[in-house]
Amino acid sequence: MKMFDRFWFCLCLWHLVGVFGDEMKFVKLGDSVTLNSGLTELMDNDQIQWRFWIGNTSIAEINVTADSMTVYDDVLDGRFRDRLKLDKQTGSLTITNITTEHNGVYLGVVINRTSIPFFLAVYDEISVKKGDSVTINSGLTEIMDNEEIQWAYMKENALITVINKQADSMTVFDDVLDGRFRDRLKLNNQTGSLTITNITPEHTGRYVLLILGPKESLKAFSVSVYSEIICFILHIFLIYY
């Protein structure tokens, strides 16, 4: 069961991420986001389910035949409590006051009609000077024995590292993307934090950390690399004005 969820999620995130297109939602802490069902109107016997990746959990359902509309906002420790709004007309789902606990993949299923995946995340913004090293903090003090963590670079959907504590393995795929990460990645085997050394603008982009295990979560980071020259111009600008 667990494996199945994980499979579904990984498949969505790492391999089908291209299909998200407009369905990638970059949100700020506290924002609201509407996941669009793609329908303008529900039909007589439509049934809609909204599911969240952790445990393949149903968070909202509409059954037009039964004229019922339900949000399951007590699931997953109440992280969705008072945050879900369903549109009766279209079946779209609005999530309000978003936090990092809401990061991940959502699936909107209109039974017998469509199924739309969404990727939603709150990004931590990290700005780093060209040539410097940056450590992207996993936020973990220790990786548990039954956990696996994966780092991915979202720009071109490349999986860059995997630590599997149970299998006692740590893999760095630094040959991906024409070797742009070659010899630049360091993974802390205790915390799972990722260090990119001698960073260049080629490493700008979104990085996602997936923690799999009994307590699954996803963290997202937006890394931008600036060069000295821009810094210099900004400096002059600030002095001048």
Ligand X SMILES: *[C@@H]1O[C@H](CO)[C@@H](O)[C@H](O)[C@H]1NC(C)=O
Binding site for ligand X (CB under 6 A): 4-5, 8, 45, 47, 56, 63, 65-66, 97, 99, 111-112, 189
3-state secondary structure 46-70: CEEEEEECHHHEEEEEEECCCCEEE
**Sign of the torsion formed by the C-alpha atoms of 35, 37, 42 and 44:** negative
Of the two residues 23 and 61, which places its CB atom closer to ligand X in the complex?
A: 61
Q: What is the DSSP letter of 89?
A: T
Of the two residues 60 and 225, which places its CB atom closer to ligand X in the complex?
A: 60
Q: Where are the alpha helices (DSSP H) in 167-227?
A: 176-179
Of the two residues 161 and 223, which places its CB atom closer to ligand X in the complex?
A: 161
Of the two residues 45 and 114, which places its CB atom closer to ligand X in the complex?
A: 45
Shortest Å, Cβ 46 to ligand X: 7
Look at residue 232 and give its three-state secondary structure.
helix
**Are 108 and 50 a contacting pair, CB within 8 Å?**
yes
Residues 6+ apart with CB under 8 A from 154: 17, 205, 206, 207, 208, 220
Return the residue nearest ligand X (CB atom): 66
Token couple for 63:
């059954």
Q: For residues 78 and 74, what is the distance between their CA atoms, to the nearest angstrom? A: 4
Token couple for 71:
């949000």
At residue 120, what is the residue type? Answer: L
Of the two residues 47 and 92, which places its CB atom closer to ligand X in the complex?
A: 47
**Are 210 and 105 a contacting pair, CB within 8 Å?**
no
Q: What is the DSSP letter of 20?
A: T
Shortest Å, Cβ 78 to ligand X: 10
Of the two residues 100 and 204, which places its CB atom closer to ligand X in the complex?
A: 100
**Are 13 and 105 a contacting pair, CB within 8 Å?**
yes
Of the two residues 81 and 182, which places its CB atom closer to ligand X in the complex?
A: 81
In terms of residues, how long is the chain?
A: 241
